[in-house]
Structure 1
Amino acid sequence: MLKKVAQLDENLFLKLFNGNSPLWLKNSALGLSKSGNGGLYLVIAFAVSWLGSEQELLAVTLLLGFLIERPIYYIAKNGFARVRPCDCLVKGAYIVPGDKFSLPSGHSAGAFLVAIILAQYFPQLSVVWFLWAVGVAASRVVLGVHFPADVVLGGLIGSSCGLAAILVVGYL
């Protein structure tokens, strides 16, 4: 069963990753991927903490979300130890990944964690937050450094940790 799922995941990756992608797609994917590197999250947390007491809760929720998510991510990443597609399936990923394992995607986890929390505090922009998170996740496949299942699991981890942080902060 797992072998069939892995084969399906590889086949889907090969349909989505194209070593000859058009320049606009490469550049879009690079921009989206970079927006999920982590620096933007710090800017958001610091910026909103200056907006008032209501928004300070947003910064606390983001911090708590990442304090929950990061250990889970690192344990899963090293536990699964799945080799990246650019190291076992194709040559020519568009970026050099920061580590050697692919499952789960940390960019996807971070983006969905932030999207869930921002949607809680700014629900009128929920579509924007989730489109951005999906874009970050998809960019990791387009760039050749993650399988589709990596970004799905990363998104689930990030979403769950974001919801947990919202619940905890709501009880404080």
Structure 2
Amino acid sequence: MSMFSQFDYYVLMFLNSFSFLDPFMLFVSLKFDYFLFLIIAILYYYKGREQTILFLALLVSAWALALALKPVFEVPRPEDVRFVTCTTGYSMPSGHSLMSFALAIFLHPRAGKYKLLVWVFAITVSLSRIFIGVHYPSDVIVGAFIGCLAGIFWLYVEKMLTKYGLLGNSGTPAGK
């Protein structure tokens, strides 16, 4: 534990102690992929093929970024916690946090009246990883930060594709 601050450890231990939340947090954490498929279907239905392809590119790049960074940081998973589920590999950054915040940034301009729901989803997915004992809070914070940068990058890519006529009218976010 020497590489983690006491605060990081205490927050992990505190959030990991709420066993009555285990079923909900485990569901949110382990069914994240299914939520992504639902978002993809909704995006395709309401925004079209180009937006869906752009979203898939964001997801694949965010996932690859998380996998590429884990061996760079080489942070081990938490120990001495109540594991609700087990996972392997390095801990930082949290891939779930990275992907959920990247998608929140990307979906925010498209979400209309559901903007708050997009952010609640990203935060809940991220926190679930601490609650179930597989990430330190710093893993989640770093993942969320990198995810926000990835989301901003893909919004910029979308803007450039639209500017140069490589993305049709469906590239215009809702409400613009």
Q: Is the CA contact 2:26–2:128 (under 8 Å) kept in the aligned structure 1?
A: yes
The percent identity for this pair of structures is 24
Runs (5+) with no aligned partner, structure 2: 162-176
Q: Secondary structure at the match of 1:84?
A: coil
Q: Secondary structure at the match of 2:93?
A: coil
Match of 1:75 among 68, 79, 84: 68
What is the deviation of 1:33? 0.7
Q: CA 1:31–1:10 in 2, change beyond 3 Å: closer, same or farther?
A: same
What is the deviation of 1:5? 5.7
Cα distance between partner residues in 1 of 2:143 and 2:68: 13
Runs (5+) with no aligned partner, structure 1: none
Cα distance between partner residues in 2 of 1:154 and 1:29: 18
- Give the aligned residue type for 2:119: F
- Give the aligned residue type for 2:158: V
- Give the aligned residue type for 2:127: A
Match of 1:118 among 107, 111, 117: 107
Aligned to 1:154: 143
Q: Is the CA contact 2:111–2:118 (under 8 Å) kept in the aligned structure 1?
A: no
Alignment partner of 1:13 is 2:12: yes
Aligned to 1:39: 34
Aligned residues: 160
- Give the aligned residue type for 2:15: L
Alignment partner of 1:128 is 2:123: no
Q: What TM-score, normalized by structure 1, do the two folds share?
A: 0.82
Alignment partner of 1:94 is 2:89: no
Cα displacement string for residues 144-167 of structure 1 (whole angstroms, at most 9, x for unaligned residues): 000000011111111111111111
Q: What TM-score, normalized by structure 2, do the two folds share?
A: 0.80
Cα displacement string for residues 26-77 of structure 1 (whole angstroms, at most 9, x for unaligned residues): 11111211232x23323422442244xx433431331221243233212211
Q: Which runs of 4+ in 1 moved over 4 A?
A: none
- Give the aligned residue type for 1:39: Y
Cα displacement string for residues 60-119 of structure 1 (whole angstroms, at most 9, x for unaligned residues): 33122124323321221111111111xx3x14300111x221111011111111222121
Cα distance between partner residues in 2 of 1:47 and 1:138: 24
Q: Is the CA contact 2:93–2:140 (under 8 Å) kept in the aligned structure 1?
A: yes
RMSD: 2.0
